[in-house]
């Protein structure tokens, strides 16, 4: 679908609840130089706007803004897919990952994935990659190849998925082409994605089959802390110069402290990132170019995850939801391996160690023949970027008990831990070196959620969760998972009782309450609640990473009383914690009054989330009697955050996600103007959203 109107940044949804027409952000297609995708009305392959593979135009132009609009990325199509889960029908760049998603397989069964090149030669390890289907018979969003060994390997590839030792169940195909790129290399020009702090990093730029011409260009190195770089967004820092001659050029970038970094080549040297013109090292503009590791502390933020890549440390074998029950491997941030050729890595579930030393042997604990480790592909030049099943729910009962576990990615597959190459997950969500993974005791009944029963629908966007945890746990937590979002909040007990306010994600929410005991055992109960957000005409959902105080505001832009947005509180036209919090049930009395009706056409805030773990706040309207503009803001009321995001939904459909990035209270990034919701036609009318993302000390 293409939009050829004068305002391609606007997202429009029209009609009542029964009729929803969603127009994409902007026209799609258009890639880096040499992509052979086209933008505008030209020919070539057209991709979904949610796809990071899509090029220029698929991220709204910010006009010199600082942050970008993150495309909604939560599709679940089958076949060869992009990083968002959207099925690809056109060619794939030689340097991009190859991902697949299949269903209709035998449940909880080991499968082999064999890939053959255009000459029918197998490019996967002998016997293929091993992937275990989940309890629904699916292998979900699995990246199966990082890149090909040579540009000559272009053409049609076949992917065969078979039961291990049995018949082929499905065959998929994809075609490769070669485009211009920038990559990170060592001093011998070998592609390298993992460096130590003492090693010099180089950037190498190649024309390949693209349209990059010889000449001088600016090269920037940037932290990978932000999710995306906005199209037409300002590039920070001072550039280095690189000269491209005969289609190639290399420039030393220097040495770096521990972290992950991006490399950007500013082709037109204007200090602004222009998608479709400039080159960025991230595969699909989502992943870093290189990671620098500290030899003394080889840890990552996360490896253990659920099916959708959400960080998870406690697994409940009694959970009746496959998406959160199996132990998966998913590295965050996507640390890079030193492997340059397509191949495989071994992923282990092992007994926990507080510290890891070079050469420590790896012995897997997962039950079942062949489950000592899993063979996974090298993904995106990284160890793991898509979840792969380590232990199915069928083996969790045997693993549950007093043992702590770590997940280790053995990059070179030698069966031992190598500093600077392999990765271990033994850092908990509080930053300590506690268990990387716990499995609750299947027979334990210490946790009892009394406030809600399993599998019910709610009209609320937050709940008061209550119950009991017996046995004197030393720690207690609730984990709320919705799709590709997750939130872990500490629970304070009064005796055996707990009660806390829990904001919900849109749609299905899998809620696991867990107690951890002095002997390292854990006990859990899991329920599923569905938040029916389609009852709201529009909804703004704020999420952030840490236990600080970020505040969501929705303002009537055409001010009736002359009081609009205020970063500390607000007046009659500013819906926020001070006058708009109507309680968790979405009922009660506002101190503000909008429109011509009573409470029904006033905005509502569900919960003022202060130091509540990874925060969530929601503001929504069920009825609208006052047409016009509604502006959405975020205020950093107290503290600093690195990843502040607002998702805008209209008539129950998420239409945009604006990443405000880093925000710090009482600084030039204290406030973020998310964008404007424009409404016409009252409760049965038309809504649209125009993103902004500009930050300032105040507005």
pLDDT tens-digit readout, 145-170 = 755 555 557 889 999 999 988 999 99
- What is the per-residue pLDDT for 1? 18
Kindly report the backbone phi and psi dihedral angles of residue 344, in degrees, each rounded to the nearest multiple of 5, phi listed first: -135, 160
- Whether the Cβ atoms of residue 375 and residue 125 lie closer than 8 Å to each other: yes
Per-residue pLDDT at 284: 45
CA dihedral 117, 120, 122, 127 (to 10 degrees): 140
Q: How far apart, in whole angstroms, are the C-alpha atoms of residue 313 and residue 244?
A: 47
| 533 band by pLDDT with thresholds 50, 70 and 90 | low
Decide if pLDDT at 630 tops 70. yes
**pLDDT for the residue 49:** 36
The CA distance from 645 to 662, in Å, is 10
Dig out the tokens for 620 from the structure: 């929504």
Q: Examine the pLDDT at 396 and tell me if it is beyond 90.
A: no
Token output for 80:
């060869």
Residue 379 near residue 386 (C-beta atoms within 8 A)? yes
Band of the pLDDT at 178, cuts 50, 70, 90?
A: confident
Share of the chain above pLDDT 90, in %: 23
* pLDDT at residue 41 in the model: 21
Which 3 state secondary structure label does DSSP give 393?
helix
* Alpha carbon distance 206, 216 (integer Å): 13
What is the average per-residue pLDDT within 638-645?
87
Q: Is the Cβ–Cβ distance between 490 and 477 less than 8 Å?
A: yes
Bridging pattern class, strands 215-223 and 240-244: antiparallel
- pLDDT for the residue numbered 269: 94
Q: For position 45, what pLDDT does the model report?
A: 25
> Residue 424 has what pLDDT?
79
Give yes or no for residue 336 having a pLDDT over 50.
no
Is the pLDDT at 429 greater than 70? The verdict is: no
The answer, yes or no, to whether residue 59 has pLDDT greater than 70, is no
Which range of 224-238, 351-365, 373-387 scores highest in mean pLDDT? It is 351-365
For position 585, what pLDDT does the model report? 44
pLDDT digits (tens, 9 = 90+) for 293-309: 654 444 455 577 887 77
What is the model's pLDDT at position 37?
Answer: 22
Interatomic CA distance for residues 622 and 618, integer angstroms: 13
Buried b (16+ CB within 10 A) or exposed e, 411-437: beeeeebebebbbbbbbbbeeebbbbb
Listed ranges 79-83, 357-361, 453-457; the one with the highest mean pLDDT: 453-457
642 vs 430 pLDDT, higher one: 642
Phi-psi map region of 681: left, alpha, beta (phi>0 left; psi -120 to 50 alpha): left
Write out pLDDT tens, residues 126-149.
778 878 888 788 888 777 775 555
Average pLDDT estimate for 35-57 = 29
**Distance from C-alpha of 477 to C-alpha of 488, rounded to nearest angstrom:** 7
H/E element holding 263?
strand 259-266
**Residue with the two structure tokens 């607000």:** 570
Average pLDDT over residues 562-575: 69
Give the residue-averaged pLDDT of 589-606.
79
> How many angstroms separate the CA atoms of 353 and 422, rounded?
15
Evaluate whether 523 touches 512 at the Cβ level (below 8 Å): no
Res 589: pLDDT: 56
């Amino acid at each position: 679908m293409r939009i050829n109107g004068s305002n391609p940044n606007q997202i429009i949804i029209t009609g009542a609840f029964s009729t929803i027409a969603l127009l994409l952000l902007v026209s799609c297609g258009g890639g880096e130089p040499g992509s052979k995708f086209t933008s505008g009305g030209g020919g070539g392959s057209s991709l979904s706007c949610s796809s990071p593979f899509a090029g220029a135009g698929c991220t709204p132009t910010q006009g010199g803004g600082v942050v970008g609009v993150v495309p909604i990325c939560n599709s679940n199509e089958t076949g060869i897919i992009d990083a968002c889960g959207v099925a690809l029908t056109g060619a794939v760049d030689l340097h991009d990952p190859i991902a697949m998603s299949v269903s209709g397989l035998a449940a909880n069964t080991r499968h082999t994935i064999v890939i053959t090149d255009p000459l029918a030669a197998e490019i996967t390890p002998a016997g293929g990659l091993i992937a275990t289907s989940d309890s629904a018979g699916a292998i979900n969003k699995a990246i199966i190849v990082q890149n090909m060994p040579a540009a000559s390997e272009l053409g049609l590839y076949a992917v065969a998925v078979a039961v291990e030792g049995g018949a082929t169940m499905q065959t998929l195909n994809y075609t490769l082409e070669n485009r211009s790129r920038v990559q990170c290399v060592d001093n011998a020009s070998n592609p390298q994605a993992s460096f130590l702090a003492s090693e010099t990093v180089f950037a190498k730029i190649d024309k390949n089959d693209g349209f990059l011409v010889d000449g001088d260009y600016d090269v920037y190195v940037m932290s990978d802390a932000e999710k995306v770089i906005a199209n037409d967004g300002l590039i920070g820092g001072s550039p280095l110069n690189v000269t491209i001659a005969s289609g190639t050029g290399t420039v030393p970038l220097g040495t770096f402290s521990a972290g992950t970094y991006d490399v950007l080549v500013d082709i037109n040297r204007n200090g602004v990132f222009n998608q479709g013109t400039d080159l960025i090292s991230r595969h699909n503009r989502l992943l870093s170019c290189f990671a620098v590791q500290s030899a003394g502390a080889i840890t990552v933020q996360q490896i253990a995850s659920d099916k959708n890549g959400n960080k998870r440390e406690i697994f409940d074998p009694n959970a009746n939801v496959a998406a959160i029950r199996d132990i998966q491997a998913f590295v965050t941030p996507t640390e890079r391996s030193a492997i340059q050729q397509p191949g495989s890595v071994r992923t282990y579930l092992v007994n926990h160690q507080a510290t890891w030393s070079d050469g420590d042997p790896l012995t897997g604990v997962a039950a079942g023949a062949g489950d000592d480790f899993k063979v996974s592909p090298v993904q995106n030049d990284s160890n793991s970027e898509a979840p792969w099943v380590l232990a199915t729910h069928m083996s969790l009962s045997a693993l549950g008990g007093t043992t702590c576990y770590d997940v280790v990615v053995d990059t070179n597959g030698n069966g031992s831990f190598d500093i600077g190459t392999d990765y271990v997950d033994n850092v908990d969500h509080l930053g300590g070196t506690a268990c990387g993974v716990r499995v609750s005791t299947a027979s334990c009944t210490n946790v009892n959620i009394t406030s809600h029963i399993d599998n019910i629908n709610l009209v609320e966007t937050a709940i008061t969760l209550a119950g009991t945890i017996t046995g004197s746990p030393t720690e207690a937590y609730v984990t709320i998972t919705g799709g590709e979002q997750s939130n872990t909040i500490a629970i304070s007990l009064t005796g055996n009782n707990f009660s806390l306010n829990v904001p919900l994600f849109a749609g299905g929410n899998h809620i696991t309450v867990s107690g951890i005991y002095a002997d390292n055992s854990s006990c859990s109960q899991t329920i599923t609640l569905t938040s029916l957000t389609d009852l709201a005409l529009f909804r703004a959902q704020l999420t952030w990473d840490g236990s600080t105080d970020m505040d969501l505001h929705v303002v009537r832009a055409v001010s009736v009383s002359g009081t609009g947005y205020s970063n500390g509180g607000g007046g009659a036209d500013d819906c926020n914690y001070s006058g708009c919090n109507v309680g968790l049930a979405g009922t009660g009395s506002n101190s503000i009054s909008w429109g011509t009706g009573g409470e029904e056409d006033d905005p509502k805030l569900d919960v003022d989330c202060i130091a509540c773990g990874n925060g969530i706040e929601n503001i929504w309207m069920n009825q609208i009697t006052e047409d016009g503009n509604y502006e959405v803001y975020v205020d950093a009321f107290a503290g600093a955050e690195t990843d502040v995001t607002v998702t805008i939904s209209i008539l129950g459909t998420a239409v945009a996600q604006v990443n405000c990035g880093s925000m710090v209270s009482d600084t030039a990034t204290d406030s973020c103007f998310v964008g404007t919701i424009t409404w016409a036609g009252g409760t049965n009318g038309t809504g649209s959203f125009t993103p902004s993302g500009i930050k300032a000390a105040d507005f």
